Amino acid sequence: MDICPSGLLPEAPSSTNNTGVSTAENVLDAIVVGGGPAGATAANKLARTGASVLVCEKATFPRFHVGESLLPTNVPLLQELGVEEEIRAAGSVTKHGAEVISADGEARTAIYFRQAMCPLPETTFQVERATFDNILLRAADKAGAEVREGTLVKSCVREKDHWKVVLEDDSGTTEKICKWIIDGSGRDTFLANQNRSKEMLAQHKRVSFFAHFDHVWRAEGDAQGNTVLVRTADGWFWLIPVSATRTSVGVVLPASEVRRSGLRPEALLEQAIERAPEMARRMQSAVRATEVQGTSDFSYRTGDMTGPGFITAGDAYSFLDPIFSTGVWLAMRGGAGAAETVAKCLRRPARTDRYLRRFSKREERVQRHFRRLIQYFYDPGFTDVFLRPVNAFGLRRAVGTYVSGALPQRLGPRLRLEIVLTVARLQPRLGLVPRVILPQTLAPSTP
């Protein structure tokens, strides 16, 4: 094992040249593992402080990636990184909100960011991730970070006050020395895999199948660029407009249902769409433009978010069910916070422990909040309440505020959210709103 838990780190010989003198001038301030939204954001912000930053990305951009929907909370970060107008000019779709609909189309609720109970940008973007991620990575390069694509971080060993990191590319392996590692490797979870600290969350074992389609039906006006979620009894669909003509379409359902069906990805997605009338209507004239792909949506968390000389961001620390489109925002938020924290530690090393604790506490609070909302989303009582929302006392606006990525600390929005969740808990017993009857995603298996 190349990396050990905090307090159990092996000491390697100190780095010296052949005269025995430390080669401190060759020590990087930080190596960022991964060039996705978390890594690119961290590298951009840290390089702007004057730190020496190396980004190692195993792929060569642009490359396909799912997760195309942003939240309004992404917008200030895009502005800070200097890429908002470039994202807009790349043909990204303007997103005003989202709509959640029952599979039969009979129950629905719409969320618009302009109705939030705290200041939020009124719009955000739907993006093609190949283009979006490439823009973020090029911006990190412009900010002063060194970017190496096609470069895999093989291993790392912690020394007294720095890391020895082994990199691999087409030319072979090299070794770099750095003070900090920022893990933005996404679901590759580089540090957690090295340390064997990845914990799968059993209650969230789901998988998704998806493809891009042309000519999917869209609403008119502000709603035409919105995310649409179609709910079934055991899962949900997404429809995300990623360009003027193309839509990302996917289904999320329990892994056990996929195994039971025995269907190949194309047949599975086709059957799921046919069984949901709302999806069948929207997809009536659709033409598939890409292969159907699949991925696990298994939620997980890893060990320590921070430790001596390291900090993790985004999916490298924890992966949440993508139902609320939090992935890119949590990645960019975590990357920005990691950069700010490392910059502070570089300036005032004596306060490192304090800075790391503060970062971990703040990010874990956000993770707990969304993990809780995700658990409620799959509860039938919450489905009833969410799809038949009560408008009294601003309850509907409060739910919309929180699922838009905002985390207002004022008592009013927090109290309203708790009222909605309490009603959802009481719904199965008291039937406070009409029940929403949902079909299973796939047809029952035959004996």
Q: Among 326, 350, 370, which residue terminates a domain?
A: 370
- Beta-carbon neighbour count of residue 56 at 10 Å? 27
Q: Are residues 333 and 254 in the same domain?
A: no
Q: Are residues 122 and 46 located together in one domain of the fold?
A: no
Give the chain's count of helices (H) and strands (E).
Answer: 13, 21
Co-location of 63 and 146 in the same domain: yes
Q: Is 347 within a domain?
A: yes
Helix (H) / strand (E) containing 172: strand 172-183
Is 285 in the same domain as 223? yes
Q: How confident is the model at residue 25 (pLDDT cuts 50, 70, 90)?
A: low
For residues 195 and 328, state if they share a domain: yes
Which tens digit of pLDDT belongs to each residue from 307-336?
999 999 999 999 988 889 999 999 999 999
- In b/e form, how buried is each residue of 157-192, taking b as 16+ CB within 10 angstroms? bbbeebbbbebbeeeeeeebbbbbbbbbbbbbbbbb
What single-letter amino acid sits at 235? Answer: G
pLDDT at 198: 86
The answer to whether residues 206 and 189 belong to one domain is: no
pLDDT in tens, 326-371: 999 999 999 999 999 999 999 999 999 999 999 999 999 999 999 9
Confirm if 273 and 280 have CB atoms less than 8 A apart.
Answer: yes
Shared domain for 115 and 39, answered yes or no, is no
Co-location of 320 and 412 in the same domain: no
pLDDT score, position 170? 96
Out of 241, 261, 296, a domain closes at 296
Instruction: Write out pLDDT tens, residues 111-140.
Output: 999 998 888 999 999 999 999 999 999 999
Q: What tokens does 118 get?
A: 């705290």
446 within some domain: no
Which structural domain, as residue segments, surrounds residue 119? Answer: 86-127+202-296
Please say if the pLDDT value at position 389 is more than 90: no
Q: How confident is the model at residue 14 (pLDDT cuts 50, 70, 90)?
A: very low
Number of domains in the chain: 3
Indicate if 221 and 271 belong to the same structural domain: yes
Residue 7 placed within a domain: no
pLDDT score for 402? 87
pLDDT level of residue 392 (50, 70, 90 thresholds):
low
Do 405 and 395 share a domain, yes or no? Answer: yes
Is residue 79 in some structural domain?
no
Say if 18 falls within a structural domain: no
Last residue of one domain, picked from the residues 272, 296, 320: 296
Domain assignment of residue 445, yes or no: no
Q: In this structure, what CATH number is given to the domain that contains residue 271?
A: 3.30.9.100
3 in a structural domain:
no
Q: Are residues 218 and 292 in the same domain?
A: yes
